Structure formats: C-alpha cells, structure tokens
Structure 1
Amino acid sequence: MFSRIKEDINSVFDRDPAARTVFEVLTNYPGMHAIWGHRLAKFFWQKNFKWLARSISTFFRWVTGVEIHPGATLGRRFFIDHGMGVVIGETAEVGDDCTLYHGVTLGGTSWKAGKRHPTLGNNVVIGAGAKVLGPLDIGENARIGSNAVVVKDVPEGATVVGIPGKVVKDTNGNADPGDEKRVQVAKKYGFDAYAVSSNNPDPVAKAIGRMLDHMHLMDNKVASLCKEVNDLGGNVCADALPELRVGEFDEDEKAAAKRREHAVESFDPGI
C-alpha cells in the first residue's frame, strides 16, 4: 500500500511543476485524495458491500469534487490534476500513467447494463472539460484536447480536438496535408492563415479554410485558362491580384480599442 502511495506522489512531481514538497502533495492535491478514496471504495465494491462502497465514493466526492464510481478500474500512476468536476463512470477503465484535467467526463451514452464507459490505454492525456462518451477505446499515448467531445474510437498516438472530436494528428504526428496548402494560399492573399485547418472546431476558422481551398482551386483554373488564351495569341491576366493590407484592419481595431478605453474612463458609476 505504501509503495503505491509513494508511486502516486512521484507521479505528481513528474507531471506538475507546481508541486514543491511531499507534505504539500499529501495535503493539497484533491485529485490524488479522490484516487485513494476510490481504492478504498473499490475494495468494498469487490467484497460486495455495494452500499458502503457507494457511500465512500460519495463522501470523497463531497471532499474533493471528483466523482469516481467504485466499479471503475484505474491503472497505476494515474493523475487527476486540479480535480474539480471530474466524473468517471462505473465501467470505465483507465490505463497506467494517464492524466486527466479538471472537468473531464468518462461517461456513458446508454441506460443499458454492461460496458458503457470508455477504456483508456496507457499514457493517455485528456484536457480540461473534455467529454469521452460511450464504450470507446482510446489508444495508448493519445491526446484529447480541452472541451473536445469524443464519441468514436481514437487510434494510438493520435491527437483529437473539436465537437465532435476529430483526429488532427495521426499516429506518426502528421497533420492534415491540406493545412500547408492553405497556409501558402493565405500568404499569397496577404492573410494570416493561423488556425484555418479544416479540422479546427471553430466554425468561423473552418469556413475561412474552405474559402481558401476554393480560392486556390479557382486560381489554378484561371491560370490554366489564361495560359491557353495567351498561347492562342491573346494578352490576358497581365494584372497582378490586388493586395490585402492587413495593417488597415489593425488600424481599425486599434481605433475601436481606443474608443472602448475612452468609454470605460468616462463611465460614471454614480449616474
């Protein structure tokens, strides 16, 4: 038992640079307290003292803000950072060296008995607020971004973001091959293409990414048409594309910021 506690404490030092002393970790890490409480509840659950197990689980939920069903299976060196709002369902299985941040839910999507919660492989990291729902398999070394909603299996080593969750990096760490093309097209138009990946969960960025794809395709078609016309003796497409001056937009934003600042300074709370 004491070797497991020592292992838990070392896992905190490995993954949280804010941890300074053993005493601080023992007294101020509710995620770790919740895991210890779960081990006690799990012991009674397996001995068929179901009510007692649930009561212990509920007590530690009050104390830590973390709800772990006593039927869940947790691996070694499991770390819950910050802890508040984490929910782990009855049939969830968590591998070794996994990390969960606050607000994570390993939940179910069915009221039927049986396996209905996720299974996490070793070394999985799930960001704050993410929801992993259903009897899914999350492969080893997978990464799930903050606030993602995952409803499908995740392969090993993949990175998932968005609602619903989509793989933005595969096992080899390769991103969407279309992203680099969009960056080049955006530079051509004088536009900063940061975060315009087709896999980006932001609907505005997603729409911009598709617009850039459309522009690139139209450019190629027009260039081919101009070449054919010029080969036939014509003289078209000599003018360069108009340049978008991003600085003009920056100046508008700065002017708007000054107006907001002036409004705040002139606000009289006594009115």
Structure 2
Amino acid sequence: MMSQYSYSLSMPVPAWRPAVPTAARNLYRVRGYRSPPFMPTSFVAVIKKDLDRYFFWVGDDVKKTSRRSGFVLAVIEHLIYKDGYRALFFYRLQQTPPVKKSRLLGALVRLVNVLLNRIELDPRAQIGAGCIIPHGQCIIVGSSCILGENVTIYQGVTIGAIAGRVKDGRVDPIIGDGVMLGAGAKVLGPVCVGKNSMIGANAVVIDDIPERSIAVGVPAKVVREASVPFTVNLEEHARNV
C-alpha cells in the first residue's frame, strides 16, 4: 500500500514543482480502530481521511467519526449517497493486497466502480489521501497520474496523457497537494501542477503551473496568485454553513 504513493524523479526539478505526495509519509492515523484481516490499517486510514474531507464539504462535524460505530455508519452513508466517495472507496479497495493479487477480482471491482459511478480512476494511478470529488460525473484519471493529498476534483475533469507527448519518461500529469481542479478542467500530458493551485472551470492545462497559482483559459494561463489555499476556503465554508 505504501509503495503506491511513493515515486522518485531522477532529473532535477524547479523548486516550485510539487514534492513527493505526502500520503506515503503522513498517512492519517485512525486511533482506536482494529481493522479486519482483509482490510489493512492503511486502507482504513486513507478512506477515513477521504471521509473527513466530505464532512468538511457538507458542514458536518468530523468528530462524528471519532467512534468506531460512527465511522462505519458514515462510510455506509457516503457509499450510498456520494458517487465521488464511492468511486474513491472502490479505487482504494483495488490497492489492497487481496484484490491486487487477483486479476479477476481486481477487474470486477474496477468494472463495478465504472458502472456505478461514471468515474474512471485507473488502479495504476497514485491518488493521495484526503481526495474529494463533490459531484461525481464523467471524471477520468489516467494510468500513471500522480495526485498528492487533499486534491479536490469537480465534475467533468480529465487528467491524462496526450498521444506522442513524453517528457523525462513521463506521459501523465503530476498534481500537487491541495490542488483544486474546476468543473470540466483538463490536465493533459507530462505537466506539473504545483501544490495549492486552482485550475478554473473548463481550463485546459498543457504547461506546468507553479505553486499557489490560479490558472484559467484555453490553454490555461496563470492570472494571479492563490493567496489562500482552496482547502482552507472549503473548510472555512463548511464551518459557516
């Protein structure tokens, strides 16, 4: 489980480029939970961190998950009502050892995920903990994409390769921690989106975006600095609703 979040780049990179996603180093600790043998502790930790961001989004109190029964009920509720969380849950399930060892089981889980959620998260992609998909419709994340922690993905987003475009051995994007991808945004090719940046609705990113930037348009251009990270704005909004 840990290896899926770790990667290395052999070539020097500009200082603003996103660092290694912190999911491998700072997996959310779930205190007081004893995972069943078929459900590794790391799996529970990541789905709980995903869940906590959904509580921020709907304005609920994260403390509801502080007890085992509350956590289980919250997971079941979100699996029923939240397409985005359900897609992430199935994606995380595909990363567990029992599913990874069985090609048939892995294929079935992926098929159910796509049919139920209209969201395609390739199991080979690396998605950090705390991801949130508020409106789960027509979202695609390609096979070698790397997403950091606390990324927000709105409906209609595509993150993937451009045929024939290769850079330093990469074909898919790297998305830094805390990035917000607006509705209909496309991030294509071996580009890097720096941490805490915001990509506007329907923007098409084909070049690198520095950290803490707001980029809009086709092709996407930086229009100003993101003075406050989107994750902070989102949590502040949840507290005030």
TM range (shorter): 0.5 to 0.7
**Could you tell me which residue of structure 2 aligns to residue 207 of structure 1?**
none
**Could you tell me which residue of structure 1 aligns to residue 32 of structure 2?**
none
CA distance in 2, matches of 1:97, 1:19: 18
CA distance in 2, matches of 1:72, 1:128: 20
1:41 aligns with 2:94: yes
**Could you tell me which residue of structure 1 aligns to residue 29 of structure 2?**
none
How far 1:57 moved relative to its partner? Answer: 1.7
Q: Which structure 1 segments of 5+ residues have no match?
A: 174-271
How far 1:46 moved relative to its partner? Answer: 8.9
1:115 aligns with 2:174: no
CA distance in 2, matches of 1:16, 1:82: 12
CA distance in 2, matches of 1:38, 1:109: 23
Q: Deviations over 1:129-177 (max 9, x none)?
A: 000001111100000000001100000000000011111013669xxxx
**Could you tell me which residue of structure 1 aligns to residue 141 of structure 2?**
88
Alignment of 1:82-231 (within 5 A): 82-110=135-163, 115-170=170-225
Q: Which has the larger radius of gyration?
A: 1
CA RMSD in angstroms, aligned pairs only? 2.8
**Could you tell me which residue of structure 2 aligns to residue 64 of structure 1?**
117
CA distance in 2, matches of 1:16, 1:58: 28
How far 1:14 moved relative to its partner? Answer: 1.4
CA distance in 2, matches of 1:152, 1:122: 18
- Higher mean alpha-carbon deviation, 138-147 vs 29-38, is at 29-38
Question: Which TM-score applies when normalising by structure 1?
Answer: 0.57
How far 1:5 moved relative to its partner? Answer: 2.9
CA contact (8 A) 1:61 1:67 kept: yes
- What's the secondary structure of 1:140's corresponding residue? coil
**Could you tell me which residue of structure 2 aligns to residue 31 of structure 1?**
84
- Higher mean alpha-carbon deviation, 45-54 vs 6-15, is at 45-54
How far 1:3 moved relative to its partner? Answer: 3.4
How far 1:56 moved relative to its partner? Answer: 2.1
CA shift in 2, pair 1:86/1:19, >3 Å: farther
- 2:203 maps to a residue whose letter is A
- 2:190 maps to a residue whose letter is P
Q: Deviations over 1:30-68 (max 9, x none)?
A: 111111111222346994645643442222011011101
Question: Which TM-score applies when normalising by structure 2?
Answer: 0.64
- 2:48 maps to a residue whose letter is K
- What's the secondary structure of 1:13's corresponding residue? helix
**Could you tell me which residue of structure 1 aligns to residue 45 of structure 2?**
3
- For these two proteins, the number of residue pairs brought into alignment is 173
Larger RCO (CA under 8 A, 6+ residues apart): 2
CA distance in 1, matches of 2:154, 2:116: 17
